[in-house]
Amino acid sequence: MKSIAANKPTHIVKGNIFDALGFSACEASALKVKAEILSAILEHIRNEGYTQAQLVSLLDEYQPSVSNLLKGRIAQVSIEKLLRYADRLKLQTTIAVRPLQTRTRGIEAGSKPTGLRRRTTRIAATA
């Protein structure tokens, strides 16, 4: 029997999990966008109660691809394909892209600014 301590997290990540896993900024952004779209699609599928057979027809996709989608295998699905699925499920998607925001603290005259950069990517899918 495992102890309760064995179930406690050993590392807590603040911010983007994909950054913490060592992906480049570009890869992390793409994975985050995919995850957001996939999450909205899967939530809609659960709410509507679609079966795999219904999704094969609705998405005009082969069964193995639908199975991968339902299992959350985002590495095997492009952002474009996820957007196509959202469209076929009658979901409205919105992508917002903003410049990095830089916060600086205690900048003295003649010193180089240092601070935190923040990337904001928001994906929303609504029925």
Domain ranges, ordered by start, for the chain:
15-104+114-126
pTM for the model stands at 0.65
Residue % of the chain over a pLDDT of 70: 63
**How much is the CA Rg of the chain, to the nearest whole Å?**
20
40, 70, 78, 39: which is closest to 53 by C-alpha? Answer: 70
Q: What is the mean pLDDT of the chain?
A: 78
59, 69, 8, 58: which is closest to 34 by C-alpha? Answer: 69
What local confidence, expressed as pLDDT, does residue 105 receive? Answer: 56
CATH second-level architecture of 15-104+114-126?
Orthogonal Bundle (1.10)
Q: Encode pLDDT of 36-74 as tens digits.
A: 999 999 999 999 999 999 999 999 999 999 999 999 888
